[in-house]
């Protein structure tokens, strides 16, 4: 029995082309990751001294009765000025965060900000809660 297949072949087999595309993709990925790794060098050793230390942030809290605390220690305005003056002498760019209770008198916060201004402390932050909490 003889098969008479006179019709033209109209389907293209794309499997070999896909295999080639996948192989090229894998080669491309391997070559790119190999070139990113760079050249091996002997790196110098760092000293044991700590890197530039950031100054410790001072937290000033004013509660709803107008009492002022520096960190966790209650202070008066005069003591606050003395302690912050000493800390500013040690680190000229001393950062300070002022946390005022929402029920505190505005004058208490202004007194603290006045002390900070007299000492020349310019890195001052006012702590707040995010709006939905």
CB 60 within 8 A of CB 70: yes
pTM for the model: 0.57
On the question of pLDDT at 37 being above 80, the answer is no
Residue with tokens 């505190």: 104
Per-domain boundaries in the chain: 58-126
CATH fold for the domain made of 58-126: Nucleotidyltransferase; domain 5 (3.30.420)
Mean pLDDT of 110-130: 87
Strand partners, 130: none
pLDDT at 107: 85
């Amino acid at each position: 029995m003889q098969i008479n297949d006179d019709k033209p072949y109209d389907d293209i087999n794309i499997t070999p082309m896909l295999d080639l595309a996948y192989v090229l993709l894998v080669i491309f990925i391997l070559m790119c990751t190999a070139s990113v790794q760079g050249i091996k060098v002997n790196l110098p050793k760092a000293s044991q001294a700590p890197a530039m230390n950031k100054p410790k942030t001072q937290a000033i809290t004013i509660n709803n009765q107008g009492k002022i605390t520096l960190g966790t220690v209650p202070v008066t305005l005069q003591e606050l000025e003395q302690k912050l003056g000493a800390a500013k002498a040690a680190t000229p760019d001393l950062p300070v965060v002022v946390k005022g209770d929402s029920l505190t008198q505005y004058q208490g916060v202004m007194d603290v900000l006045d002390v900070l201004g007299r000492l020349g402390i310019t890195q001052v932050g006012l702590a707040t809660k995010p709006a939905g909490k």
